[in-house]
Chains A and B, each alone.
Chain A
């Protein structure tokens, strides 16, 4: 049975032309000219065909609920099921954004409480929940930085980004109208103040940093760096992608960051990707409050209210209303369930888990960060594999073994990179099994390179010709 058809390719016996008349009296006065004359052009599928279609698709998934998902830099932690239940509560799911404030005090309180929680965790004074995900958050933060300098009549056109950064950093900066200066990492994989001084001048608006960085290394010069930048009149942007390593331990605002985003779908356990949507709240220090998008929630005399910034000063609306509310709700539930101690413990456990894997692999592969890491690490598989076998082949072979493949070929400064982030929610047994599988694949790449090169073979589709797919895509719909 072929389960690979798209919805439009599935045929059904239903009568395509039949429109069921509405037998309920409608109290809507719709002008005839707006009424549909023909059936809509949507797939004509019976309920059981539709059910099979989606169930079969879901069975092809690699998901957190079926396998370990060691996707470096993405923090694929367990999404507690109770949060899904809370998000479905009628009182939350039936609220309409156009309702009066007094009729949705509960939802406003959730937003207020999350603002308070994120402020406590990050040290930032105010948050907007509008950004739809991390990169959107970066863009929002950079627009705030641009507006800040504009309000001061300062012409600053450049953003500094380390060479280990996520590609979204320079992309967001470019979209916000800045020119990008890349600063090289030193031999320990971190930014050195000396390298930074070479590119620093009065054109620099801000520097974007991920701490710990994408190699899983803590930027130990960070205080000197933020001081250099502030002395230069520039701001510091914190990319919250790796916040899962330092929750409750380090507050970005305390070490000199002025603006940051947080990925709720990473650090605060809300679902990623198709299970999303994402959410990338942006936090700022008090002096940047007036530039935030409107509205955000404030508490006045025991009542929760929307606060609107002056239209001229704010960067404007980044998304309809106040962001993806169910995600905000789930993140709030997670923070309240774990509490300050639980969040700190989660970060510590995430770091322990990553170091456990690192310690088991460090004699087999090159690890640029050295013998210890934060919540993730990047390794170079160069020299660890059989002739002609590359990191891509190892990733594909992991699929055969039932694992979601980790991030590969990132960060760009590591040759044949593979990046592992186990998160705090995996057990020692799971970590041991994963390491054993990985080491077996390294061995297999020498003893039976063909098997690794031809992987995957246990998946619903075999090795795809990614090059041909990118050069000459054929789309079905």
Chain B
């Protein structure tokens, strides 16, 4: 399972990638594999604010629907609208083309409780 070492991970299988004071958010390769083929995505509205661990998006596969939780608190500044017509991008490219949205981070401290790649690997392998 692909777990890049430049990302932060939540126990609920979301990743966060810092770029300045912005952060890209998506779900992990492990998550997309477990969810199986994604057929529909509900993304948050730009401008909406979320606190850490709040449900912020929904993905639906032929298996079921799953809530996606915000890994850090912040305001949504951009959503990946391509996912609406091509949700399969999440399966094909979970860390690049399949990102969900970009947040403006409210509290840098939030990153401290996220996992690094090694610790996340332990969770999915355990």
Give A contacts to B, CB under 8 Å: 167, 392, 409-410, 412, 415, 466-467, 470-471
CB distance from B40 to the nearest CB of A (A): 7
- The answer to whether A412 and B64 touch across the interface, beta carbons within 8 angstroms, is yes
- The answer to whether A470 and B64 touch across the interface, beta carbons within 8 angstroms, is no
Contact of A471 among B34, B63, B88 (CB under 8 A): B88
CB distance from A46 to the nearest CB of B (A): 39
- What are 12 A-B interface contacts by the 8 Å CB criterion? A167-B64, A409-B63, A409-B64, A410-B64, A412-B66, A466-B37, A466-B62, A467-B37, A467-B39, A470-B40, A471-B39, A471-B88
Q: Which residue of A lies closest to B60 (CB)?
A: A470
CB distance from B53 to the nearest CB of A (A): 11
Q: What separation, in Å, do the CA atoms of A167 and B87 have in the docked complex?
A: 22
Residues of A within 8 A of B61 (CB): 467
Residues of B within 8 A of A410 (CB): 64
CB distance from A468 to the nearest CB of B (A): 9
Q: What separation, in Å, do the CA atoms of A250 and B34 have in the docked complex?
A: 38
- The answer to whether A467 and B65 touch across the interface, beta carbons within 8 angstroms, is no
Q: Tell me the interface secondary structure of chain B in the complex.
A: mixed
The 4 tightest CB contacts between A and B, nearest first, are A470-B39, A467-B37, A466-B62, A409-B63
Residues of B within 8 A of A412 (CB): 64, 66
Give B contacts to A, CB under 8 Å: 34, 37, 39-40, 61-66, 87-88
CB distance from B6 to the nearest CB of A (A): 28
Residues of B within 8 A of A415 (CB): 34
Q: What separation, in Å, do the CA atoms of A410 and B65 have in the docked complex?
A: 11
Q: What separation, in Å, do the CA atoms of A412 and B40 have in the docked complex?
A: 18
- The answer to whether B62 and A470 touch across the interface, beta carbons within 8 angstroms, is yes
CB distance from B93 to the nearest CB of A (A): 17
Residues of B within 8 A of A470 (CB): 39-40, 62
Q: Which residue of A lies closest to B91 (CB)?
A: A467
Residues of A within 8 A of B88 (CB): 471
Q: What separation, in Å, do the CA atoms of A167 and B37 have in the docked complex?
A: 20
Residues of A within 8 A of B39 (CB): 467, 470-471
Q: What separation, in Å, do the CA atoms of A470 and B62 have in the docked complex?
A: 8
CB distance from A129 to the nearest CB of B (A): 30
Residues of B within 8 A of A167 (CB): 64-65
CB distance from B37 to the nearest CB of A (A): 4
Residues of A within 8 A of B37 (CB): 466-467
CB distance from A251 to the nearest CB of B (A): 33
Q: What separation, in Å, do the CA atoms of A15 and B61 have in the docked complex?
A: 47
Q: Which residue of B lies closest to A408 (CB)?
A: B63
Q: What separation, in Å, do the CA atoms of A410 and B62 have in the docked complex?
A: 12
CB distance from A203 to the nearest CB of B (A): 15
CB distance from B98 to the nearest CB of A (A): 15
CB distance from B70 to the nearest CB of A (A): 15
- The answer to whether A471 and B87 touch across the interface, beta carbons within 8 angstroms, is yes
Q: Which residue of B lies closest to A170 (CB)?
A: B67
Q: What separation, in Å, do the CA atoms of A412 and B35 have in the docked complex?
A: 10
Residues of B within 8 A of A409 (CB): 63-64
Q: A466-B62, A467-B39, A467-B61 are in contact. List 5 more A-B contacts (CB 8 A).
A: A167-B64, A409-B63, A412-B64, A412-B66, A470-B39
Q: What separation, in Å, do the CA atoms of A409 and B87 have in the docked complex?
A: 20
Q: Which residue of A lies closest to B37 (CB)?
A: A467
- The answer to whether B64 and A467 touch across the interface, beta carbons within 8 angstroms, is no
Q: What separation, in Å, do the CA atoms of A167 and B66 have in the docked complex?
A: 10
CB distance from A333 to the nearest CB of B (A): 36
CB distance from A344 to the nearest CB of B (A): 35
Q: Which residue of B lies closest to A472 (CB)?
A: B39
